[in-house]
């Protein structure tokens, strides 16, 4: 009987994951990853409540339960990474880094050392296993598909990972949890960035970085039209939160972190907002490396629609260039571009 350590967050997805594995005959151990316990202004961190919920489900299922404390590593690998990226003027995705550094590295390694044969999580994704490693596949529920966040996982890690709910849509997951009388069947899904939740990113960044007010400059007239609360807080394409008066809406088209200036325009077709060429660094390919000249599906941010792109350049230094078939708006440095070949997630890289 294979022993599987299940990451249990206290939510319905991971609760059902554990239940399905018990029913499938695995020797299941529930594990709560203690990653973040800091209270933020206006938001009490619910880690203790989530831990209690996860433990209660483990008792319902009659499985062993453990707590892995990764808080220091999480701060160093995920939180500090996010803050540093914002300081550089980019828009990072900490959930991707959490999966790379914590869930499918720290959690995987500690679980294996503790006697597990495999790990499992409540991600909406699918995986196939063979002797050469795992293949990451899109989830059945395209609205919940989380392969975008998982593209930096290694094939070796995938071969030791199970995603039991990847074949179901979210309403069915809740119904299956309710049928099993799991305590968390109607628990509200967490929102926002993994450790920030519903607290605004500006409020979070403001706790760690001195945000200095500066000028908002109209790109066309080169005149100051307003004052911002810190260039670090603004992203390409942003429309809301500028407070520059009436008339046509303004969009952020750039910023200068040295001058602490934010540049805006009312022209939605401004060349600074649209691009076809995308340069990626820190690329990671799970299995087959994309071939130059081939056309792939690309997702440029979570929940963005898949678009077509051609691989026009790739080297051995973890960089590549893709050419989008149709121009896309607000491709933000620091975000990830993830490539797909039909249902397979190939990997991707960081936009620069």
Catalytic residue among 45, 98, 211, 320: 98
Order of all β-strands in the sheet with 118-120: 64-69, 27-34, 3-7, 118-120, 161-162
- Report DSSP state, residue 114: T
CA distance 88 to 141: 35
CA distance 82 to 90: 9
CA distance 206 to 311: 39
Query: Is 194 an annotated catalytic residue?
Result: yes
- Which residue, 179, 181, 234, 168, is CA-closest to 205? 234
3-state SS, residue 23 = helix
With a CB cutoff of 8 Å and minimum separation 6, the contacts of 125 are 136, 137, 138, 139, 145, 146, 147, 150, 163, 166, 345
Query: Is 45 an annotated catalytic residue?
Result: no
Supply the DSSP string of 183-233, one letter for each residue: TTTTPPPP-SBTTTBTS-HHHHHTTTS----EEEEETTT--EEEEES-GGG
- Report DSSP state, residue 51: H
- Strand 320-329 and strand 336-341: the pairing is unpaired
Catalytic residue among 194, 211, 222, 345: 194
Reported for 178-184, long-range contacts at CB under 8 A and 24+ positions apart, including other chains, are 180/16, 180/19, 181/60, 182/12, 182/15, 182/16, 182/19, 182/57, 182/60, 183/15, 183/53, 183/56, 183/57, 183/60, 184/10, 184/11, 184/12, 184/15, 184/53, 184/57
Q: Which residues are catalytic?
A: 98, 194
């Amino acid at each position: 009987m294979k022993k599987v350590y299940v990451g249990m967050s206290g939510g319905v997805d991971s609760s059902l994951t554990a239940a399905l594995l018990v029913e499938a005959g695995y020797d299941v151990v529930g594990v709560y990853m203690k990653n973040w316990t800091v209270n933020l202004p206006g938001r009490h961190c619910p880690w203790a409540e989530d831990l209690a919920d996860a433990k209660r489900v483990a008792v319902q299922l009659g499985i062993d339960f453990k707590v892995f404390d990764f808080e220091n590593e999480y701060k160093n690998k995920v939180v500090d990474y996010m803050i540093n990226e914002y300081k550089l003027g980019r828009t990072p995705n900490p959930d991707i880094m959490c999966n790379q550094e914590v869930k499918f590295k720290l959690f995987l390694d500690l679980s294996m050392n503790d006697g597990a044969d495999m790990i499992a999580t409540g991600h909406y994704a699918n995986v196939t296993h063979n002797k050469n490693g795992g293949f990451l596949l899109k989830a059945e529920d395209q609205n919940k598909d989380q392969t975008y966040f998982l593209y930096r996982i290694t094939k070796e890690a995938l071969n030791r990972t199970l995603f039991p709910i990847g074949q179901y849509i979210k309403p069915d997951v809740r119904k299956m949890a309710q049928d099993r009388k799991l305590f968390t069947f109607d628990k509200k899904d967490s929102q926002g960035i993994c450790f920030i939740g519903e607290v605004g990113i500006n409020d979070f960044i403001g706790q760690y970085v001195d945000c200095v007010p500066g000028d908002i400059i109209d790109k066309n007239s080169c005149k100051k039209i307003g004052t911002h609360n810190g260039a670090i807080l603004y992203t390409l394409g942003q429309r809301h939160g500028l407070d520059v008066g009436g008339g046509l809406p303004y969009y952020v088209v750039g910023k200068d972190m040295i001058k602490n200036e934010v540049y805006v325009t009312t022209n939605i077709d401004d060349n600074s907002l649209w691009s076809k060429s995308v340069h990626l660094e820190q690329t990671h390919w799970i299995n087959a490396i994309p071939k130059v000249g081939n056309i792939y599906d690309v997702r440029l941010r979570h929940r963005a629609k898949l678009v077509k792109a051609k691989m026009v350049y790739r080297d051995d230094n973890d960089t590549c260039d893709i050419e989008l078939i149709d121009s896309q708006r607000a491709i933000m440095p620091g975000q990830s571009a993830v490539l797909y070949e039909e249902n397979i997630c190939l990997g991707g890289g960081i936009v620069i």
